[in-house]
Amino acid sequence: EVQLVESGGGLVQPGGSLRLSCVASGFTFSNYAMSWVRQAAGRGLEWVSAISGSGGSTYYADSVKGRFNISRDNSKNTLYLQMNSLRAEDTAVYYCAKGTPLYGPFDPWGQGTLVTVSS
């Protein structure tokens, strides 16, 4: 069974940093692009970032470019999102999602991890 499990969310002050992780199982991780998608409370889905299977290509939404960094460790079947210079508007549930096999559609998604940016 394909499974994605996120962790690393929490409460952080504006300007702070946080690193999210997503552990994958049930498929050959290095063969698939992966993405991060976020959802603020009561709002829609916003694509944040994506990375190729090898890790050689990375992509970012304009809203996070220069502040967030996506990476992966294929030996550990783990996807990461390093979030720096966090702002209140970054508050959301962050989901990791598996490409099929590239940058969409996404199937499946993890259960999400909540990031709250507040003083």
Partner 1 sequence: EVVLTQSPGTLSLSPGERATLSCRASQSVSSRSLAWYQQKPGQAPRLLIYGASSRATGIPDRFSGSGSGTDFTLTISRLEPEDFAVYYCQQYGSSPPVSFGQGTKLEIK
Give residue 57's region: left, alpha or beta (phi > 0; psi -120 to 50): beta
The number of residues that bind partner 1 (CB under 8 A) is 23
Q: Is 108 in the site for partner 1 (CB under 8 A)?
A: yes
**What is the distance of C-alpha 12 from the center of its chain?**
17
- Helix, strand, or coil (residue 88): helix
Q: Is 61 in the site for partner 1 (CB under 8 A)?
A: yes
Q: Which of 5, 21, 27, 47 binds partner 1 (CB under 8 A)?
A: 47
Stretch touching partner 1 by CB under 8 A, among 9-17, 21-29, 45-53, 82-90: 45-53
DSSP state of 100: S
Residue span 65-94 as binding mask against partner 1, x where in contact by CB under 8 A, dash where not: ------------------------------
Q: Which of 68, 106, 113, 115 binds partner 1 (CB under 8 A)?
A: 106
3-class SS string, 1-69: CCEEEEECCEEECCCCCEEEEEEEECCCHHHCCEEEEEECCCCCCEEEEEECCCCCCEEECCCCCCCEE
Q: Which of 24, 35, 81, 113 binds partner 1 (CB under 8 A)?
A: 35
Residues interacting with partner 1, by CB under 8 A?
35, 37, 44-47, 50, 57, 59, 61, 95, 100, 102-112
